[in-house]
Structure 1
Amino acid sequence: MSKAFTKEKDAEDEEIDLPALLLGGKNYITPQGYARLRSELLDLIDSERPKVVEIVHWAASNGDRSENGDYLYGKKRLREIDRRIRFLTKRLEIAEIVDPGTHRGSDQVFFGATVTYIDDFGQQRTITIMGIDETDSRESQVSWVSPVAQALLKAREGDEVTLSTPAGLRLLEIIEVGYPA
């Protein structure tokens, strides 16, 4: 078969790997995180994609596509949108919605907990354990599969847990555990 009829994959056409899930494939997410991802998916399908399709259609009707920036950029943007739609669809299909408010009043660390701890260097930190697809490190949110979250899960206020880091083992003392209303 001639090479002229084979499609070569561009680096940009390759699928994005999903963030790793633990064995068993659980994808825990808060109701707010699920709603945010679903809203993004619906916006891409109902609003963003149709706009880009319209631009690409208009650009294609202008003639020569090889040097048509609107057409080339539009096709690239369509691939990005379609990739994001596939990603969101896959993640929402396997999502398990967990309401952290059900543990309110508990002193044990579960999914959705806001945990204040002191490490063995005397630094106090407060983190919130969230789903893989909804974490924001600027908001001190960590994924429930992260090493620090795995060390803290199921521990209680006052407990000391061991965190394995590349620099060695660290001791974390849990000061406070809280849940949203």
Structure 2
Amino acid sequence: MDKKEIKRQLEAMLEAGRSRTETFKAFSGGGVGDRVLAYWIAAYPDRDLYEAHYRKINTLVTISFIQAFLGAALGYFIGATIGPSASFILAAIAGVVPLLFAYGFYKNSAQAYNIYIVLAITQLPRLFSGAAEAPLVATVGALFTLGILFFVMRLRSLLFPDFAFFGPKKVKGQYVFSN
């Protein structure tokens, strides 16, 4: 059995209402490693959790749309100083990336949350690079970015409770799932 078929069967079992622990035990030791299997189970979206936190997800999608608009505008103006075609290229790049995240958040994709968290964490040192020239602007920008980062991390923990920081939860060498 190939990976795609195993993933299809795993999703069918979870949709049928079988517990995550039972599903993991049923496929453990098969054609897919336990780590990958545990990740698939932890990343499987729970409809009840999605409905319970729907407003928070909509808030995050709205923030992403605002970021896309501001990023496109800023990219256009920065690109205009470089050249006429650069303004459209930078505007497209700065506008599309937040829209891709908004789509991932709306589709309840654990990978979208994980990628956003990784990218935000890697950009943290750049937040304070302009603090000497404009300390107020740098502080407001840093607080805004950190607030969104913590909001995304909290929302991911609510929607996907089986994740530790980036991978599935493991206790004493065993993967554990909320059922």
Q: TM-score range with shorter-chain normalisation? A: 0.3 to 0.5
TM-score, normalised to structure 1, is 0.34
- The structure in which a higher percent of residues are strand is 1
| Larger gyration radius, structure 1 or structure 2 | 1
- The structure in which a higher percent of residues are helix is 2
